[in-house]
Amino acid sequence: MLPKEELVEQAYFFRILSERMGERLAMQDLLKQVKYELLTSTKLPMAVDFLLTELLHGGAMGPAMRRMKHYFTPFQTFLVDEAEYASGRFGMQIAVQVLQHDAEYRSREPSRQGCFLYQFETLCRNRLRYDQGLKAMSEDPIYDAHWSHWLLEVRHQIGLVDLADMIFLRSEEYVNRKRAIEGPQFEPKLPTLFGEHEGRMAMANHRKDPLFLFAAMQRHLGYPQVPKAKAADPNVDLVPQLMRRMERLETRLKIMEEEQRQGLDLTKFYVGPQTPSAANDEQPED
């Protein structure tokens, strides 16, 4: 885990990128500007300089982030890779917004449960690849060995087992219910990863839309909301379209006014017949 000051600077870095990407500037120009605004007592300016060099030479930042595993988490690298190579399904602006909220959450008092749900909801809402995404999550330094092993299990069971059931079976609520039935001597075979409250919420969302589970977990655990892609505004092209129609209407009105004043000369639109000499001049020579 990085120190708090590094995470704070990362959150600021991704926030500035997200805001200035709306100005339609090239990513290399943005990195050149932002690296001078970062706190030089942190290692982020050196990391940004390395990203800029790789972007100028290779055209992508993902390989550079992959070589800096000591600074960027595998999940951060995965998001940038998806934004660069996902054929437009996952934009870079949404990726940096996700990274901004993730860094802000980690700079406070993050919980493993909150980080998991935030990262997994990011995969679901943006339709990213679960196989590579969950593998990257399992390598995140915030998770211990038990969490990493469970994430790899989720990687193989996702789509076959409901997420709410997988959370419930590894919660304290499941252990309490089993002890109420079998007695206090019951001990789970695997360590619990979620608390009693999370287990109850997972049980309440059994066989429901996973988005309801994410909404309930986000309200109670307090992790950031996952940024969503905004729908295209249909009014953006409305003014140019109206301008073109007005120009056509003005042209038609001018023609009608000239016709009413009997000043419309249609002969200027005629094409006269060609003379024989002109036709012979246009024929190619042998």
Q: What is the pLDDT of residues 222-244, one digit of tens each?
A: 999 998 877 666 666 777 888 88
What percent of the chain is predicted at pLDDT more than 90?
55
Average pLDDT value for the chain: 87
Please, which pLDDT band fits residue 258 given cuts at 50, 70 and 90? Answer: confident
Using one digit for the tens of pLDDT, what is the confidence trace for 158-190?
Answer: 888 899 999 999 999 999 999 999 888 889 888
Fold of 1-108: Receptor-associated Protein (1.20.81)
pLDDT at 268: 63
Sequence ranges of the domains in the chain: 1-108, 111-230
Q: What is the pLDDT of residues 120-148, one digit of tens each?
A: 999 999 889 899 999 999 999 999 999 99
Q: Give this prediction's pTM.
A: 0.79
- The span from the CA of 24 to the CA of 183, in Å, is 63
Percent share of the chain, pLDDT over 70 = 88
pLDDT at 74: 94
* 252 — pLDDT class (breaks 50, 70, 90): confident
Q: What is the pLDDT of residues 25-82, one digit of tens each?
A: 788 889 998 988 999 899 999 999 999 999 988 888 999 999 999 999 999 999 999 9
- pLDDT at position 89 over 80: no
Residue 269, pLDDT above cutoff 90: no
